[in-house]
Structure 1
Amino acid sequence: MAGAVEWTWSDIDAGLASSFDLPFSREKRTPLEGLTLGTGVTVPMTRSEQSGPTGSGQQGAHVTGSPTVDALIRYEPLPGWFAMTDFHRYVQGSRQAPWNPDFDYGFGFDNGAPFSLHLTYFNYASNRLDPSAEKGENVTRFNQGTWSAGWRFPVPEALATPMLLDPDLAIDCTVDVNVSPRFYDQASAANRSWKQSLSLGCHYPVVAGIYVEWKAFAYPQHRDQQPWDPDFTYAVGWSWGYPGTFSLRYGNYSGNRWPGRDAGPAQGRFVDGAITASWSQAW
């Protein structure tokens, strides 16, 4: 990763110009080029039975009471353009809540370049490999996924350098507008349309592959925010970021609340996060 940078109009223009680029090449691609395969194990910090309403139907808290074995497939037909799916096997199947997916998936454009725009779709709802008609399950409900459009930027050098332990690294941030066409509203016990949120997230590299990430959310329509929708998320991990290497990560994506705001049951505590050990190989 390049060191902290000073913003210039030429850098911003180059980043914007790279957005949604279609970099076709006459060079023949190898059969595996653009493919990433990964596997991992995710262990929740707490495995106690959840108390209180942490979800309903197809949507709810990310917290599970069971470890999972995960398998990732991601493919980039062109640099920046991707499609991915992540499969989950629950070690204790009885603790898989109706809203905990068998798999999640996403696609879109995100080339990771400074000052670039991105557009992505991800679906973490109750996707099922073998849906039960009796339980009202579906393979997927596409309109319950989330579309995100945003801009990636590095923290300016004057601000980043005093915060960095390693001056050769950089703090990268993204600002996004997020929209879910359909979502479950716990207060009315009914499905509603067009949940909207704004988010600002940053990746802070500490040293030697150790990093911290955080993201803050704002909901223009306050009633759109459900008990499992966070005010903020955070993670800390270790990864060299090279193909064929292991990584270790603690992440908390539960319904965290800012001080002075009450969190929902079994939400917003440190123990509502999970630890993931994973390995991936990219070609």
Structure 2
Amino acid sequence: MESDPNIVLDWNAYSIAAKGFTSAGSTEKALEMLKKSEGLILTSKRRSMAFDFLLTQYATTGMKDEVLRLWEVHKKSEKLYNKSYISMITSLLNLDDLEEAEKIFEEWDSSELFYDFRVPKFLIGAYCRKGHMEKAEALVNRARMKGGKPLPLTWYYLASGYINVNQIPKAIEALKVGVSAFEPGWKPSGPILVACLEYLKEKGDVDEAEEFLRLLLAKHIISIGVHDKLSSYMKNADLISQASRLMEEDAIGGDGEATEDTEPKKMGDFVGDSEIKECRN
């Protein structure tokens, strides 16, 4: 294509080639394509989008220095919007650099941009994956005080984090809020549901267990048949194995990810391409 005088390559063409080389494990070739792509950004009418995309591409190659360098170029070349901060924060989280991601978040938080809860959501997810639940809670409260409304997936992140640190009562409450906020048909992780149900069984709180099961039924997370069986299994000593089997039969067993504001797939399956694409929109 480069040798054809009738074809004019833009930044996107080279970025696509870079993605292909990265997938094939040819990092050196990928970086070569990214450099060519970067050289064409300023001639593009969609410069902001181009910078955001290349940030994530450099992160995929594992080149943190390049991510930080391009971010500085981006700041000097274009006005930054929420989607730019999302691209930068998710890139750093995919590089497992939580400290640098926190710095970028603080930079965003001190800006005068519209408070988009997707920005803190990514950081909350990272805190939950690492077991930093106090930090996660503090960030949720801080965001709410500024007028931000937690997204449904935020509550699911919190529930997952609470399960990991054995704070099951908090996990149940967070999951209730998340399930209530999601559109019907969303499926949380089977193991998380089983952990919550097992806790309620051991606690002996039949009313709370029934309330929880009715919520799952109302949101079409479980079928009426599974609801009835789980209700009876709440009195069964072998709840975990029975519930796990029923969850599998009812097609509940994914990672609980959703497409509502979609967000990292590496590092604990929280930031994926679908989320980054959505953020760019």
Normalising to structure 1: TM-score of the pair?
Answer: 0.23
Higher relative contact order (CA 8 A, sep 6+): 1
Structure of higher CA gyration radius? 2
Q: From the two aligned structures, give the one with the greater strand fraction.
A: 1
